[in-house]
Amino acid sequence: MVIGAGLGGLSAAIHLAAGGRDVVVVEARDVPGGCCGTARTGRPGRPGEYRFDTGPSVLTMPEVLAETFGAAGADLDSVLPLRRLDPFYRLAFHDGTRLDVVGGAERMAGNVRELCGPAEAARYLRFRHRLGEMFEAEWSSFIDADMTRLRGMARPYALLRLAAAGGFRRLDRFVAAHLTDERLVRAHTFQSLYVGLPPHKALAIYAVVAHMDTVGGVYFPERGGMHAVPHALATVAEKAGASIHYGVRADRVETGADGVAAVRLDTGERIRASSVVVACDLPRAHAGLLPEAARDWRLRRPRYSPSCLVMHFGLDRRLPGRAHHTLHFGREWGGVFSALSAGRPQPDPSLLVTYPESDETAAPSGHSTLSVLEPAPNLAGGADWDRLAPQLEDRLLGRLADLGYGDLSGAPGATFDPPAWARLGHSAGTPFALDHRFRQTAWFRPSGRSRRVPGLHFAGMYTAPGVGVPPALISGRLAAARILEGAR
Ligand SMILES: Cc1cc2nc3c(=O)[nH]c(=O)nc-3n(C[C@H](O)[C@H](O)[C@H](O)COP(=O)(O)OP(=O)(O)OC[C@H]3O[C@@H](n4cnc5c(N)ncnc54)[C@H](O)[C@@H]3O)c2cc1C
């Protein structure tokens, strides 16, 4: 049984069903995807209707998706054809300059040369090589490894390789040791926000995120936008034999003498199960869904990632020449992160603007949609969001107007702020779970398996490898592999 049809739960369901297990998935919402959700304005099929992807927009490492579908004999190119974006990102700096992050070492070095000169371009190529080495050293030993098993820990050679590649330094120092132009440094450190930490606190092992997006590339479904990802996963899971029940909440995991016995649903139904994969918000799950014996010491003092304010707009026009992803850097850099850590909004935040022009399901012909994400403090800092939300929304509208997107104040849309994320079931009002500080990384992230409740497994972003589309998919596979190998 799998609780939660987010990306972690769906991945577990595919692998378990493909492995011959009877799989039942229960999902509290009416659609699959969890964070990878969708929202609409207007009435379906009527003019003025817009559809927004409310979660991830930067899709990296399609090979992880391909491997997930492949486990059930499905082919990524058939079930979810993807397009590689060009550019992957447009980086717009506060001084008016910009850098398109594009595929191919020489092409990208050419853009760097134009912006920062030939010496920095040569440094960039060396740095890019180092990123590749780091990724190689890390992938199988750290990211794609089952941290719940002892043998996952006992890999001194892998750790030495990572240390030699500089993985245990701080990210900002690692990047600054190779690159000198401040803009290029930002281009390779902003990704630390994806793991919930400022660049001076994140370990350099998280430079692999910059490898995944700036080197590996950023992709987008040919049809259906990002929400097509969980739909395709759910379809493949069902074809492999899993049965998915939407609008049903798991209320209680029941145990017997030898571990997991059943799951009690909010419909009153009791489903017998010898193994359960819990793939939802873990602090909430420990507040009633899970037995007391399943407590994990790693969740005793959770340190949550910052949250975000996301505004989606339906536009009655197209925006020719805009990239799919534009990152508008604020003037400030180092200091902006301390505000978030202190539970305050950033004074001059960097903004990720997503303009999915190619998504025909997003807007009527000639129209388009635009989404903007601003990092924001989570609810653990105690900010007064009734007061803060309208202020931040006004400021964001003003910034967008200044950046040339026009007056969006009257545009139809949807807004998600930390209280909204909390209402959707995310602890501390952040959809990014625990941050990835050292003591919440790898072996120190909540375990993928309960030691004291046989049959109880965990997947999703609260477990290793962590937050993001590829990690959530990997966590589901790791949970399924343990069950298929007979671990209880
Ligand atoms: C705004 C935003 C932007 C993001 N941007 C990116 C990005 O660009 N790139 C990237 O890689 N990642 C991004 N992410 C992160 C990524 O989307 C998540 O890390 C990943 O989708 C988490 O998946 P999950 O399965 O762990 O959890 P979730 O998506 O939270 O899924 C958990 C599911 O469990 C269900 N559930 C909870 N409790 C119960 C219960 N008791 N019974 C039944 N069902 C239950 C929930 O309804 C939910 O569907 C973003 C996320 C957000 C929100």
User: What CA–CA distance (Å, rounded) separates 205 from 131?
Assistant: 9
- 404: Cβ–Cβ under 8 A, 6 or more apart, which residues? none
With CA atoms as reference, report the closest residue to 199 among 180, 171, 223.
171
pLDDT of residue 125: 98
Question: Alpha carbon of 405 to those of 221, 316, 359, 362: distances in Å?
Answer: 25, 12, 19, 18
- Pair 362, 50: CB distance under 8 Å: yes
Asked if residue 372 and residue 264 are part of one domain, the reply reads no
CA pair distance 80, 86, nearest whole angstrom? 19
Strands 24-27 and 2-3 turn out to be parallel
pTM of the model: 0.97
Beta-ladder partners of 414 = 312
pLDDT at 144: 85
Give 233: exposed, middle or buried? Use CB within 10 Å, 0-12, 13-18, 19+.
buried
**How many C-beta neighbours within 10 Å does residue 105 have?**
13
CB 247 within 8 A of CB 22: no
CA 35 to centroid of ligand 1, rounded, Å: 3
Q: Is residue 47 part of a domain?
A: no
Domains contained in the chain, number? 3
Tell me whether residue 462 is in a domain.
yes
Closest Cα to atom 1, ligand 1: which residue? 55
Q: Is 160 buried (19+), middle (13-18) or exposed (0-12) by CB count in 10 A?
A: exposed
Q: How far is the CA of 293 from the centre of ligand 1 (A)?
A: 25
Q: How far is the CA of 384 from the centre of ligand 1 (A)?
A: 25
67 and 6 share one domain: yes
Q: Are residues 170 and 211 in the same domain?
A: yes
| Ligand 1 pocket check for 12: Cβ under 6 Å | no
> Is residue 330 located within the same domain as residue 404?
yes
In whole angstroms, what is the distance from residue 117 CA to residue 111 CA? Answer: 9
Smallest CA separation from ligand 1 atom 19, residue: 468
Same domain, 181 and 113: yes
pLDDT at 446: 96
- Residues in the chain where the model's pLDDT stays below 70: 43-47, 149-155, 487-488
Residue 210 in domain: yes
Residues 170 and 264 in one domain: no
Q: Is 429 in the pocket of ligand 1 (CB under 6 A)?
A: no
| Residue at 20 is within a domain | yes
Q: Tell me the C-alpha to C-alpha distance, in Å, between residue 427 and each of 110, 230, 339, 420, 472.
A: 44, 22, 20, 11, 17
The values of phi and psi at residue 156, to 5°, are -60, -35
Do 211 and 240 fall within a single domain?
A: no
Among the listed residues 13, 33, 3, the one whose alpha carbon sits nearest the alpha carbon of residue 483: 13
What distance in angstroms lies between residue 474's CA and the mean position of ligand 1's atoms? Answer: 14
Domain that residue 235 falls in: 2-42+61-76+223-302+433-484
Counting from 1 in the atom list of ligand 1, the atom nearest the Cα of 470 is 11
The finding on whether 277 has its CB within 6 A of some atom of ligand 1 is no
Number of C-beta neighbours around residue 279 at 10 A: 33
Q: In whole angstroms, what is the distance from residue 160 CA to residue 379 CA?
A: 38
Cβ count within 10 A of residue 298:
18
> Is 316 within 8 Å of 40 (Cβ atoms)?
no
Residue 251 inside a domain? The answer is yes
**Based on the domain organization, do 155 and 179 belong to the same domain?**
yes
**Is the CB of 468 inside a 6 Å radius of any atom of ligand 1?**
yes
> Which protein residue has the closest C-alpha to ligand 1 atom 4?
56
CA of residue 412 to ligand 1 center, whole Å: 25
For residue 472, the domain's CATH number is 3.50.50.60
Give residue 461 CA to ligand 1 midpoint distance, Å: 7
Domain match, 186 and 276 both? no
Q: Which of 216, 244, 260 delimits the end of a domain?
A: 216
Counted residue by residue, the chain has a size of 488
Q: What is the CA radius of gyration of the chain?
A: 22
**In the block, which residue shows the tokens 């990047």?**
175
Ligand 1 site, residue 465, Cβ cutoff 6 A: no
List the 270-272 sheet strands across, edge first.
Answer: 250-256, 259-265, 270-272
* Closest of 52, 360, 348 to residue 224, by C-alpha: 360
Question: What is the rounded CA–CA span in Å between residue 435 and residue 466?
Answer: 9
According to the model, what pLDDT value does residue 487 have? 67
In a domain, residue 50? The reply is: no
Please tell me whether residues 252 and 364 are part of one structural domain: no
Is position 15 within any domain? yes
Tell me which residue has its CA closest to atom 2 in ligand 1. Answer: 55
216, 237, 252 — which closes off a domain?
A: 216
Ligand 1 and 152: CB distance under 6 A: no
How confident is the model at residue 341, as a pLDDT?
84
- Ligand 1, residue 476: give the atom nearest the CA: 25
CA 396 from centroid of its chain's CA atoms: 23
288 and 370 part of one domain: no
Examine residue 10 and state whether it is found in any structural domain, yes or no. Answer: yes
Instruction: Tell me what pLDDT residue 111 has.
Output: 98
Same domain? For 296 and 437 the reply is yes
Q: Which two tokens stand for residue 305?
A: 């990632």
pLDDT in tens, 47-95: 679 999 999 999 999 999 999 999 999 999 999 999 999 999 999 999 9
Residue 87 CB less than 6 A away from ligand 1: no
Which stretches of 246-320 are DSSP H helices?
A: 282-284
From 167, 187, 216, the end of a domain falls on: 216
Rounded distance from Cα 468 to ligand 1 centre (Å): 8
Tell me which H or E stretch contains 180: none
**What is the pLDDT, as a whole number, of residue 46?**
64
Q: Is 216 in the pocket of ligand 1 (CB under 6 A)?
A: no
311 lines ligand 1 (CB under 6 A): no
Pocket test residue of 2, 30, 35 for ligand 1, highest count of atoms within 8 A of CB: 35
